[in-house]
Copies of this chain bind each other. A is one copy, B any other.
Amino acid sequence: MALRIIPLGGLGEVGKNMTVYEHGDDLVVVDAGLAFPRDEHLGVDLVLPDIGYLEGRRVSAVVLTHGHEDHVGGLPYLLRQVDCDQVIATKLTLGLIKSKLDEHGLAAATRLEEAETGRKIQVGSFTLDFVRVAHSIPDCVAVVLETEAGRVVHTGDWKLDHTPVDGLKTDVGRLAELGNEGVDLLLGDSTNAERPGMTGSERLVGEAFRTLIPLRKGRILVVSFASNVHRMQQAIDVAIQVGRKVAIVGRSMRKNLNIARGLGYLDVPEHVLVKPQEAMELPPSQVMILCTGSQGEPMSALTRIAYHDHPAVSVERGDTVIISAKPVPGNELRVHDSINRLAKAGAEVLHQEIAPVHVSGHACSEELRTMLSLLRPRAVMPVHGEYRMLAAHGQLAREAGVPAEAIVIAENGSVVELQPGRTPQIVDRIDAGLTFVDGLGVGDVRDVALRDRRRLSEDGVLIIVTTLASSNGGSTAPPELIARGFGDSDSFLDELRDEAARVLEELAAEDITEIKLLQEHLHDAVGQVVYDRTRRRPMILPVVIEV
């Protein structure tokens, strides 16, 4: 029986948020993440994979490779839509999602199963196995999915890191063993496939902290993703060395610190931690603040600090802010804005463009070559990346000896079929768009609403209201015009009102009283005057009311 593989989700990144594996009646979903909206998704809060394909079906297991939002953040939405027997993940990942499920009131109804490397789990016709990989959050695994169709290795996000902070390296021994046993298909992280060489070890950031922090006398703020437990550990270790107390600022960072600490993934002596208010009362040379906001998110701790709008923390001349992260594409201007504001407040700001305070969590091309050499897969399906990255990963696979016809560059919604002893093929395509979360609504804001928002955002809106006496079809009052976002002057609006009145008179003279026709004529005539005079195209909404 064939195994069907369907990548889903991600903004232009294939299979970034979710991959569906379907073998007969058994469905295993690997990862259930979300994406953060871009400027083009006007007003949208979150972007989920469209899971229409799964709705109403029983999912045997959701397997999570690691605890990042783009791999687990959509889990509550998925669990509300499908019947799911169990969620399988490693200890830290389970810890992180537990609090998420609690918040959504789903904890009681969800069976959680802990994944351990080296212990296989049988899920229907799937045998699942887990291999340790390094990344920018602890406790990450690659997943091996074995069915009678063949053996698939799904890397999740990974890098090689021979000196990870927790000593838990990518298990090259086990990967080589799998290569010897035979891998039919590799689904591999392509994020850095275009980049030459090797990604630096997470430990390099610790070295930068050890170099930079002891030289500074003011407060030190270290800003990173809330989930980057190793980064926090390394910063805290330096704080302890130089006698600084540590305050954690930002809800998600406090939450993650508590979870990671409780499960033994983070080693922080109690006496080191102080509350933010207490930290601000200590001499600046005795303080380190760990906080969120590395992407310039409007309501995040760092942004509020940069805008002098944080209830507890402020920066001043002599302070140093270390932004230990890279802006996700699209967030550059926000991050630059934070840096400028902090610099204006007198702080020195160290960021990845000018200091070695960040490393990527993803494998570069030489690491991908290493993975290909270890696994020697018969076929490769590059995932987790934009098309250009998938193409680069495919090229690396070809150079590693994988035949061109065994390299599958799929899109979200592509159905890739693996059959025993056969090269995998794209055999079908399912609807696989994006589901927008806006406020409380999940999926009710669709492309047409976004198109309208886009139009409104370009040139605003012009509303023409007129009344029509149902008795004789004549208009009973002069038209009213309301403009918003349009750069209107009163005299120009008067002119447009005259034009609208002229159109109505003309139509009345021709005995045209059908509301639809009146609206069309008003729309076209007024729109033309607006365009001729301004070269703008506001959304024009004529309203004709019969009274």
CB distance from A338 to the nearest CB of B (A): 10
Q: A42-B457, A457-B457 are in contact. Are A539 and B438 (CB under 8 A)?
A: no
- Central interface residue in A349, A438, A457, A485, by most chain B CB within 10 Å: A485
For residue A333, CB closer than 8 A to chain B, the reply is: yes
Judge if A480 is at the interface, Cβ distance under 8 Å: yes
Please give, as numbers and ranges, the residues of chain B lying within 8 Å of A349 by CB-CB distance: 388
Beyond A194-B353, A336-B386, A535-B440, whether A453 also contacts B541 by CB under 8 A is no
CA A547 to CA B478, docked complex, whole Å: 10
- Nearest-neighbour CB distance to chain B for A306, whole angstroms, equals 11
Measured CB to CB, the nearest residue on chain B to A468 is B547
Chain B residues in 8 Å Cβ range of A533: 440
Does A140 reach chain B (CB closer than 8 Å)?
Answer: no
Instruction: Give residues of chain A (178-215) contacting chain B, Cβ–Cβ below 8 Å.
Output: 194-196
Contacts A39-B39, A463-B541, A467-B545 known; A330 to B329 CB distance under 8 Å? no
Contact with B along A439-455 (1 / 0, CB 8 A): 11100111001101111
Note all chain B residues with C-beta closer than 8 A to A535: 439-440
Kindly identify, within residues 459 to 517 of chain A, every residue whose CB is under 8 Å from any CB belonging to chain B: 459-461, 463, 465, 467, 476-477, 480, 482, 484-489
Residues of B within 8 A of A354 (CB): 194-196
Whether the pair B343, A388 counts as a contact (CB closer than 8 A) is yes
- Give this chain's copy count: 2
Q: Does A124 lie at the interface of the complex (its beta carbon under 8 Å from any beta carbon of B)?
A: no
User: In the complex, are the beta carbons of A460 and B465 less than 8 A apart?
Assistant: no
- Considering the complex, give the chain B residue whose CB is closest to the CB of A467: B547
Hey, what's the 0/1 contact readout for A303-326 against B, CB within 8 Å counting as 1? 000000000000000000000000
Shortest Cβ distance from A173 into chain B, in angstroms? 31
Minimum C-beta distance from A529 to chain B (A): 13
A12 within 8 A of B: yes
Task: Contact check, A456 vs B485: say whether CB atoms are below 8 A apart.
Answer: yes
Interface core residue of A344, A453, A467 (most chain B CB under 10 Å): A453
In A510-547, the 8 Å CB interface with B consists of 533-536, 539, 541, 543, 545-547
- A391 in the interface, Cβ–Cβ < 8 Å? yes
For residue A454, which residues in chain B have a CB less than 8 angstroms away from its CB?
A: 457
The answer to whether residues A534 and B440 also contact, given A453-B485, A458-B42 and a CB cut-off of 8 A, is yes
B388 and A340 within 8 A (CB) = yes
How far is it, in angstroms, between the C-alpha of A12 and the C-alpha of B336 when the chains are bound?
10
Max chain B C-beta neighbours (<10 A), residue from A43, A194, A488: A43
Chain B contacts of A438 at CB under 8 A? 459, 487, 534, 536
Point out the residues of chain B lying under 8 angstroms from A541, CB to CB. 463, 482, 484
Residues of B within 8 A of A38 (CB): 333
Q: Inside 8 A of A391's CB, which chain B residues have their CB?
A: 343-344
Q: Within the assembled complex, what's the spacing in Å between the Cα atoms of A339 and B457? A: 27
A439–B532 Cα distance when bound, in Å, is 10
The contact size tier of chain A is: 35 or more
Binary interface profile of A, 68-81, with partner B (CB < 8 Å = 1, else 0)?
00000000000000
Using Cβ atoms and an 8 Å threshold, which residues of chain B touch A488?
449
B-chain residues with CB within 8 Å of residue A329 when the two chains form the complex: 332-333, 336
The verdict on A387 contacting chain B, using a C-beta distance below 8 Å, is yes
A461–B484 contact, CB under 8 A?
Answer: yes
Residues on B with beta carbons closer than 8 Å to the beta carbon of A485:
42, 449-450, 452-453, 455-456
**A-B contact list, 27 entries, CB within 8 Å:** A12-B336, A12-B340, A38-B333, A43-B458, A43-B536, A330-B333, A339-B386, A340-B386, A342-B388, A440-B534, A441-B534, A449-B487, A449-B488, A450-B485, A452-B485, A453-B456, A453-B459, A455-B485, A456-B457, A456-B485, A461-B484, A463-B463, A465-B545, A467-B545, A477-B545, A477-B547, A480-B545
A residues with a Cβ closer than 8 A to B are 12, 38-39, 42-43, 194-196, 329-330, 332-333, 336-337, 339-344, 349, 353-354, 386-388, 391, 438-441, 444-446, 449-450, 452-461, 463, 465, 467, 476-477, 480, 482, 484-489, 533-536, 539, 541, 543, 545-547
Known: A195-B354, A452-B486. 19 other contacts (CB 8 A): A12-B336, A39-B39, A43-B459, A329-B333, A340-B386, A343-B387, A344-B387, A439-B536, A440-B533, A441-B487, A444-B487, A449-B487, A449-B488, A453-B458, A455-B485, A456-B484, A463-B541, A467-B467, A477-B546
Top 8 nearest A-B pairs by Cβ distance? A439-B535, A457-B457, A452-B485, A445-B487, A456-B456, A453-B485, A43-B458, A343-B388
